[in-house]
Amino acid sequence: MVEVTVTPQSSLADRPVQIRVQGLSPSQLVTLRAWLKDEQGECFQSRAFFHADGAGEVDPGLHAALGGSYSGVWPMGLLWFLQPDTLFRRLVKRDVAGSPFRVRLEVFHGLCLGSDPRQQPLASCEAERWYVGPGVQRVPVREGRVRGALFLPP
């Protein structure tokens, strides 16, 4: 049974995570896809193609992506190379304290270039990427012409 995991499942956006796929056939060609919807409903996605190792596993931190949104060994490549479906959009998190970005990770058999809703992933999981840690207090700053936010640790 194919399984994709993200460890830790919930983390701060600037912290590394480990993405692993297990249960594949040795040397099986797969596509790993990451996608999320931002606060305006805009979809951002990335994909990378891999050959599973002899144990039927894929780890982007150990195995080189053969192509897609990037190539080579990039442990966080699927998260760093997210691109908008609509040109000229930027991935921006406005509500940094209230909710995380929920990134969906999926693994497909073979090369998957599109996002055909009829194509079912072999496995999927979800990761939460928070921008503010637990207990951090956000204080709005308005002094003269200065506008901003001060984030105070617990």
Q: What is the pLDDT along the chain (154 residues), one digit of tens a residue?
A: 999 999 999 999 999 999 999 999 999 999 999 999 999 999 999 999 999 999 999 999 999 999 999 999 999 999 999 999 999 999 999 888 889 999 999 999 999 887 677 789 999 999 999 999 999 999 999 999 999 999 999 9
Residue 115, pLDDT score? 67
Residue 53, pLDDT score? 97
**pTM strictly above 0.85:** yes
Q: Quick one: fold of 3-152?
A: Immunoglobulin-like (2.60.40)
Beta-carbon neighbour count of residue 111 at 10 Å? 13
Residue 143, pLDDT score? 95
Half-sphere exposure of 89 (CA within 13 A, CB side): 18
Half-sphere exposure of 87 (CA within 13 A, CB side): 0
3-class DSSP assignment, residue 147: strand
Residue 68, pLDDT score? 96
Q: Give the start-to-end residue ranges of the domains of the chain.
A: 3-152
